[in-house]
Amino acid sequence: MKRTVIGILTGLSLIAAPLSAADVRKDATLAKGPPIREAMSPYGSALQCLATQLTNKQKETSFSAGFFPDRTGKVNYVSDAGTGSFSSQGLEDMVLTSLSQTGVVVVDSSPAFRQSMDWTIGKMIMGGQGSKVQLMNPDVVINGAITTFDFLPGSGLSANVAGIKLSHQQSRILVSMDARAVLMPGTGLPGPAGKIVATDKPSKQIVGYEDSAGGSGFFGPRNSATYVSLDFGHKPNEAVQYAERIMVDRVVFKLVSQVFNVTTCQPQLEYADQMVNLQ
């Protein structure tokens, strides 16, 4: 048994040796992960269905993203897990991307665009070129926020029998959003500016698991026994911010469907909901 342990330690040292002996004058070889892929969502087919059901006049309606901040106030300060907000801070950008799949006209009214336009118009005025700049105003703006981020009570099981350890832990987070579609001045849709024409409030439980197993004990002859300890673990946690991206796709589908009263894409929505549940 002692020879086996020595062999394992020798093998580990041979693996670690090239790392410690790397030439500091050369760039280290970077690890290569999976290839880059398009961010996919189960609700992509539902959004594409909307694009086929809208009339040409409806497709001329312009949409934009207003403010969609993280209002939960939940922040992570655990350094080894990465510090900062739990929720995504880029939901306005996600809303614009989702809108582009529905077939409507999408207008960029982000702070970055407005800042660029202020600089451009100011430069034109200073150059004596006037301020004749054509700007597209959105007919409908989608506003909202991530409003809840609750850590739900978890569950688990742990056992230790004769040095053999087994453990299973489960944790859940409840994320909720509130979103609305608001009419802007000059819109061709019926209703005054500021009227809320569609609302949605989705919620999702995000799940994480942690399974571990291990054992420890003395092995070998009684007068020369060797203490051995082994631990194995598996921690498949659902990606929180990616789940929020999927929620945004569903929100945009629901709001645009309500604005134009489209019900023919309901089967695609139900199918996507089933796919999310299977995940």
User: Higher-confidence residue: 102 or 238?
Assistant: 102
Element (H, E) at 113: helix 111-126
- Residue 101 near residue 48, CB atoms below 8 Å: yes
Q: Which whole number is the average pLDDT over 88-116?
A: 92
Model confidence pTM above 0.85? no
Q: Of 15-29, 106-120, 121-135, 254-268, give the lowest mean pLDDT range.
A: 15-29
pLDDT of residue 269: 94
- Residue 131, pLDDT above cutoff 80: no
Closest Cα partner for 139 from 190, 89, 70, 97?
190
- Residues forming a β-bridge with 85: 75
- How far does CA 71 lie from the centroid of its chain? 16
Residues of the chain above pLDDT 70, percent: 89
Residue 16, classified by CB atoms within 10 Å of its CB into exposed (0-12), middle (13-18) or buried (19+), is: exposed
